[in-house]
Chain A
Amino acid sequence: MEKNLIIQPEKCTGCRTCEMVCSFVHTGEFNPLRSRVTVFNFDKVGMAAPIVCQQCSISACMEVCPVGAISRDDNTGAMMVAHEKCLKCKMCSMACPFGATTYDPVSDIMMKCDLCGGDPQCADYCSSGAISYQDPMQANLARRRNLATKLQSVYEEVI
């Protein structure tokens, strides 16, 4: 079964370790703007949310690419950019509804999450569990269980 990056913002502590490890393994430097994942910290209210490519089934980036440079990796399911074909026209960047595909002027490539070839480092280094790499069928079971627990406790009170 293909795994997905599952994002659970309610667990994110806003530490941005994912940005650090992502930019480092992809570019050799620590630079949030060259990371494929971005954490938005809402400091005033203490909430945070990581945003990263969702490897959509219907992929706007692939659909819009004029030269067919974006395709799905058979093994990981990641949408991959063939940099040698890519025109750097940035249409994928414009089309992506998540803003998860952007242009890196330093290395002159379109950058997006490649799932690190099946071992995404953001998930490996995330200590809060806000980013995990798992079977999508299992995703959100914890949230459903949380809700169920609330219902269960209500039932316990009234029955």
Chain B
Amino acid sequence: MFGWMGQILRVNLSNGQVSKLNLDIDTMSQYIGARGLGTKIFYDEVDPMVDPLSPENKIIFLTGPLTGTLAASAGRYNVVTKGPLNGTIAASNSGGAFGPEMKFAGYDGIILEGRAENPVYLWLYNDQLEIRNAEGIWGQDVVTATDLIKAATDEEAKVACIGPAGEKLVKFACIMNEYNRAAGRSGVGAVLGSKNVKAISVRGTKGVRVANSAGFLAAATDARNKLRAHPVTGQGLGAYGTNILVNILNEHGGLPVKNFSEAAVFADAEKISGEYQAEKYLVRNKSCFGCTVGCGRVAKIPKGKFKSRGEGPEYEATWAFGADLYINDFEAVSKANYLCNELGLDPITMGGTLACAVEMYQKKLIPAEDVEVPLTWGDGDLLVEMVKKTAYREGFGDKLAEGSYRLAEKYGHPEYSMTVKKQELPAYDPRGQQGIALNYATSNRGGCHVRGYMTSPEVLGVPVKVDPDSTEGKPALLKLFQDLTALCDSAGICLFTTFGIGLPEISAQIREATGVNMSDEEFLLAGERIWNLEKMFNLAAGLSAKDDRLPPRFLEEPMKGGPHKGHVVELDKMLPEYYQLRGWDEQGVPSDAKKAELGLS
């Protein structure tokens, strides 16, 4: 095989058995890799009703055919499992160089099954896999654990691990690789923790081969040149990181404030912006493997009570800890973000859950005796303290560790949880963007922006500007974005490339790398196949059309101010058309004809 390594390592943690799964070209052509192939394997092997934290759940680390090559921004891998936060199919995506290193070791990925009796970590060096005792490493934060494992295995090894949050089965624990890159959402870190696996350390000495050398070099070079020439990927993201969005979304009137309860305009947006970050705290920018964009932020808070150093915060974390909690202190926001990296937490859900708690406390729906300190807006000290307490499940942190839906439900008011399918929404008020609203409602992993990033056309005007307040044409555009994103994630390249390149460039790179001679349309159809398979998993896991909804706040409470004042989400104008375009019935179930068309019957 070209592009792909052709084999996946399977490790049964319960009995220590290690075997190989050989891949066939038909399956690879249909599901591409990473998110798509992972979903296919998971769908075929795991009962959709499985308890996510039981030994019967599996967790798959998987690269794409472009991972570890010269393709544009090709450093990605996906973690596919059933997520404990909301019971949907989870495909959590991360960069850095862990994915490429798995391929250099000779594998497209690793499947973990069962549960180890005691805490362990895995050490993979080419064909040799060791399951090692994690005594002395279990319990450590991400930085210490990574240092210890590199020292015990290989200084050049790439390490993916969980922090204390994953060990404590926090529902939104993430998996961190190379200290600062995260497979962040859906709680995949808790699944690893439930299996008693602290980390995977990988080192390889092999190479990745492509089918057509000259053709691949040309395709990769073309994609890279386009990214370097595009203003978003060639200038904006490198200079200001994803936080370049703070001022843009604020001016748009879409930067949610106080758990989405106020007008989506934050008075102090400038003080949490990418420009402010670059001026005051940025040390330098950093790239994941093979990336010309370099959006990573190496930053430090040089002094004061939040003195710290790390990477980020990214836009979503900055918003979740900033505007959503009404905190205008970038130093507190940064410190909380670095703690999330060190302790292994998803900052979007962390911030969203705390914001939900603050709103409910302020409305006296959470009794004062249940919390150690009053929950107030704009309190940076509270934020930092609650991040720590959540990771270790101490005090009120134990309730926060369950995510906002379970928290709000426990106090009898799930409507204050700003979630879709129990996963917290990211940093775009859906009342200011009808397309992102539809994406939230239909995303296969719930509240999420990276499944169909409608902010790109609705706010940034990339690749074309569309009216954010209009519902017209949104279902069709969203379907295209969702299918293309599924292809992009499955290829092993970064979603950010899609600011500068599209289907022709992505398809060309996969085609030349793998030698699979499919047309652009057939590659896009693979994306649609992947989307439908994810949907079919969720339906089999017990989700239904009633889960394709937004919290009532967005449907009933008009936006209180800003450019989108008075607007609500007009979901019912879009959702039926979306189902129809997808070839699903009115309950959102893929029709037999659609399944047959996609080979999913």
Contacts and interface: CB of A to CB of B under 8 A. Distances in A.
Given A15-B294, A128-B294, A20 B70 contact: yes
Contacts, number: 85
Contact of B207 (A29, A41, A47, A125): A29
Contact of A43 (B179, B205, B217): B179
A70 to B, nearest CB: 25
Contacts of A31: 104, 205-208
* Residue from A15, A16, A31, A48 with most neighbouring chain B CB atoms (10 Å): A15
Interface in A28-61: 28-34, 41, 43-48
Interface in B311-363: 311
Interface in B193-235: 205-210, 213, 217, 221, 224, 228
Interface string B471-487: 00000000000000000
Contacts of B175: none
Interface stretch (B281-289, B378-386, B433-441): B281-289
B208 A30 contact: yes
Interface in A118-140: 125, 127-128
Given A15-B290, A16-B289, A127-B292, A34 B207 contact: yes
Nearest to B155: A40
Nearest to A21: B70
B178 A24 contact: no
A71 interface: no
Contacts of A17: 70, 290-292
A10 B285 CA distance: 10
Nearest to A20: B70
Given A15-B288, A44-B143, A33 B205 contact: yes
B242 interface: no
B160 interface: no
A30 B289 CA distance: 13
A29 B206 CA distance: 9
Contact of B286 (A10, A13, A20, A21): A13
Contacts of A21: 70
Nearest to B299: A46
Nearest to B96: A43
Contact of B178 (A27, A43, A125): A43
A121 to B, nearest CB: 10
A41 B97 contact: yes
B503 interface: no
Contacts of A43: 96, 178-180
B178 A32 contact: no
A46 B209 contact: no
Contact of A32 (B96, B104, B221, B284): B104
A23 interface: yes
B224 A125 contact: yes
B68 interface: yes
B131 interface: no
A30 B207 contact: yes
A14 B207 CA distance: 19
Contacts of B97: 16, 41
Contact of A27 (B70, B207, B217, B285): B207
Given A20-B69, A32-B104, A13 B294 contact: yes
Contacts of A47: 284, 298
B240 to A, nearest CB: 15
Contacts of A24: 70, 213, 217
Contacts of A28: 209, 213
A26 to B, nearest CB: 11
Contacts of A41: 97, 178
Given A23-B207, A44-B143, A45-B298, A30 B286 contact: no
Given A27-B207, A29-B209, A30-B208, A46 B283 contact: yes
Interface of A: 10, 13-17, 20-21, 23-24, 27-34, 41, 43-48, 125, 127-128
14 contacts: A15-B287, A15-B292, A15-B294, A20-B70, A27-B207, A30-B207, A30-B208, A30-B210, A34-B207, A43-B178, A43-B180, A46-B180, A46-B311, A128-B287
Given A27-B207, A32-B104, A127-B224, 12 more contacts: A10-B284, A14-B286, A14-B287, A16-B289, A30-B68, A30-B207, A31-B207, A34-B207, A46-B284, A47-B298, A125-B70, A128-B294
The 6 lowest CB-CB distance pairs between A and B, nearest first, are A46-B298, A31-B207, A29-B207, A15-B287, A13-B287, A127-B292
